[in-house]
Every structure is written in C-alpha cells, then in structure tokens.
Structure 1
Amino acid sequence: MRALTNRATRTAALVGAAGLLLTACGADGTAPSASASPSATAAAPGSAASQAPAPGPFNDADVMFAQMMIPHHEQALEMAELADGRAEDAGVKKLVAAIERAQDPEIRTMRAWLEGWGRPESADHGSGHGSGHGSGHGMAGMMSEQDMKDLAAARGEEFDRAFAELMIAHHEGAVAMAKDERRNGVNPTARKLAEDVVRTQSAEVAELRRILGRL
C-alpha cells in the first residue's frame, strides 16, 4: 500500500512539472514571444520608428531648413516651367529638365520629414514679397514678383540670359541655406540632402555661367 502511495505521489509531481513547462513554452510548445517581455518595447529594425522619413534626432535648424527650402524649390520649379515655349538654348533646356527632375522629389521628401517631425510646412521666416513665398531672412535668392513677370515676358535668347542670371542668384541662395544646415543641423538625412544641394546646385551655377559666357 505504501508503494502505491509513493508511486501516485511521483506521478502527480511529474504531471505538475509538465504543466509548468507547457505554461512557460506556450500551448504549442514554442518559446514565449518577445512581446511578453516588459523590456521588448524599444524599436527594432524594420519597425515604424526605424522607417521614419528622417530617422534620428532633429533640431530647429533641420526644421527651418525644410520649411524654407520647400518654397525655395517651388519657385525654382515655377521658373523652370516658364522655359517651356520660351527657352531657346539647348544648355538652358537641359538644366531646366535637371532642376525639375531633382527638386520636385526633394519637395515631397522634405514635406514627409516635417510631417514625421510633427512640424508645420510653413513658418514665419520674415515678410517679403518673393513670388508669394516670402523672401525674408534666410531666403536668399528668392525672386520678386516683378522678376517673375519679366522672365515670363521674355523669349528666345532674352529669356535664356534672364533665366541664367536669375537662376544663378536663386541657386546661390539655396547653397547658402544648405551650408547653414550642414553647420547647424543634426539630422543625418537632412544634412545629407543639404550636401546634395550644395554639390548639384554649385555645379549648375558653374554651367549657367558658361551658358552666359556664350550668349
């Protein structure tokens, strides 16, 4: 009788241990999921946080760079649109295509940054009168409404010359803003775009100067 009692006790103990093991592994015998751990709240690779348009820290300089470069790019696109039916020089037409190809996607990119950062697209960076966008402090190179009207009225070589002169000033303003971002910004993605602006628009300024030299 005592042997039976001891056997029953051992059996109960084994059943209890098996139940604890199943509880630890889950009903299907697999290991517990990471979500069960209180420490598994940090963003993992591939998470929404790591897929943000401009991941990492950002500061006021990054925000201002995007807020000001968006209208700056928009005006460059307005100037490029005027070339249709007005530009005559092949070099001007080629640069117009390059500006449209580069700056429209960059506008969408910077809008995504601001949305991801929870910041508005526009901010008061000074009053001015640059083609409806403002041209206050930090908005160097923005054209006035009269500049845009004069450009729209030009045709042929007159347009090509005016476009080159105005776009040189416009690009130089963008390069100055981008250099400010490189000095003062902290977001790696924003600083990379600023680097791209400095490189590409400086090269386009050099090409525009060569065009002016032959017109």
Structure 2
Amino acid sequence: MKISAAATVAFTLTALLALAGCASTPGTGGRHDEMPGMSASASADVNDADIQFTTMMIPHHQQAVEMADVILAKDDIDEQVVALAEQIQTAQGPEIKQMEAWLDDWGIDMGNISGMGDGMMSDTDMEALEDATVNEASRLFLEQMTEHHQGAIEMAQTEVDNGQNPDVISLAQNIITSQTPEIATMTEILATL
C-alpha cells in the first residue's frame, strides 16, 4: 500500500495543527508544561491560580521579612519576639527565592505585576512599627504579623483548593502548616506583654 506525498503532507500538517492548538501562554489558565528550563515537577501544569498565588506571595513574604528586620534592628526586644522574627526570616527568605525561580521558569516578569495580598501592612502600619518604642514595638509586631499570617493562610488555602502545580500547592500547604502555629505562639506572647 502506497501513501501519496500529498497524504503525508496533509497528515503532518494535521498533527502540527493539533499540537499547536494544545499550546498556551502563561496567564491564560491553560497548560504550561511545554516551557523550556522547567524541572520535571515544576513542568507539571501551571494554572492561573498557581501564578496568582506565586506573584502575590512574593511581596507578601518580602514584607514579612522587612517587618522582622525592623523588629530585629531594635534593642531590648522580648526574646520570644526576637526568636519569632528570626524564624520568619529563616523560613520566608528561601521561599521567596524559590517562587522567583518558578516565575523565571514560567517566563513571568514580576515587574509587570502589581497588587497587594491579603493581610499586607500599609505604609502607615510599617512606619508605626519602625517608630514604635521597645514595648510598643513587640506588641505592634505581633499584632501586625498575626494579621499578615492570617492573610497568607487565606491565600495559601485558595492555592490548595484551586492550584494545579504540585510544587506550588506543596509550598502553600507548608505555609498553612507553619504559620498556623506561629499565630498561636504570637497570641500567647501577646497575652504576656
């Protein structure tokens, strides 16, 4: 049985068109598993929820680290508050780097993204923390960070419920698992101040 050249070309074009129809670009809600440079696990499907969570959580984490920096720069802060601030820095710094790497792999430029995540502090809130006296600073940090963590947990739960990429979902679950007990710790410390 002979296949004509025209039939071969028609078959090839049909296959190419079918493959092209499966492709999508970041941010469209479609599949993103064809992007070069992604690890095997990161190359799994990436949907809009994964992208939104990652782009919102980076500035959220950056602000938490900034808040920790402010409290650690002050003298005579309660030891428990210092330990908590150091714990936040240690956990969230590497997570920021991981999320930035994902966005880079996905071809997403953070410079084009704006918006505030849940629980973000305003400029006024941050100034109040910077200007606070020692006793007031500990209390303000704990209150603000509790609100900040609650916002992070809400965003993380949305990712767990709606995300597609297993690495991103795993990070979101880790945020819920680690920040929930930190809220309890902060509530306990606040009661002693």
TM, length-normalised to structure 2: 0.76
Choose from 151, 161, 166 the match for 2:144.
166
Q: 1:188 aligns with which of 155, 161, 166?
A: 166
Q: Which runs of 5+ in 2 are unaligned?
A: 1-35
Taking the aligned partners of 1:145 and 1:165, their CA distance within structure 2 comes to 16
Name structure 1 gaps, 5 residues minimum: 1-47, 127-134
Q: Percent identity?
A: 42
How many residue pairs match? The answer is 157
Give the SS at the match of 2:56: helix
More helix by share: 2
For the pair 1:79 / 2:60, whether they are aligned, the reply is no
**Counterpart position of 1:62:** 50
**What is aligned with 1:119?**
108
CA apart distance, 1:156: 1.6
Give 1:85 deviation, angstroms. Answer: 3.6
Letter in 2 for 1:104: G
More displaced stretch, 144-153 vs 50-59? 50-59
Q: Which residue of 2 aligns with 1:154?
A: 132
Q: CA-to-partner distance for each residue in 1:24-66, whole Å, 9 max, x for gaps?
A: xxxxxxxxxxxxxxxxxxxxxxxx8673572311101000111
The verdict on how the C-alpha distance between 1:100 and 1:53 changes in structure 2, with shifts beyond 3 A counting, is farther
Give the deviation of 1:157 after TM superposition. Answer: 1.5
- Answering whether residue 88 of structure 2 is matched by residue 110 of structure 1, we say no
User: How has the CA–CA distance of structure 1 residues 122 and 63 changed in structure 2, closer, same or farther, with 3 Å as cutoff?
Assistant: farther
Q: Which amino acid aligns with 1:81?
A: D
State the alpha-carbon separation in 1 of the partners of residues 73 and 99 from structure 2. Answer: 30
Native 8 Å contact 2:160 2:173 kept in 1: yes
SS state at 1:171 partner: helix
Q: What CA RMSD, in Å, does the superposition of the two structures yield over aligned residues?
A: 1.7
Q: Distance in 2 between matches of 1:122 and 1:141?
A: 22
> 1:181·1:191 contact (CA, 8 Å) conserved in 2?
yes
1:89 pairs, out of 75, 78, 82, with 78
CA distance 1:142–1:80, shift in 2 (3 Å): same
Contact 2:63 / 2:120 at 8 angstroms: preserved in 1? Answer: yes
Deviations 1:60-92 (A, max 9, x none): 100011100000000001100001242611110
Query: Which of the two has higher C-alpha Rg?
Result: 1
Asked if structure 1 preserves the Cα contact closer than 8 Å seen for 2:72 and 2:85, the reply is no
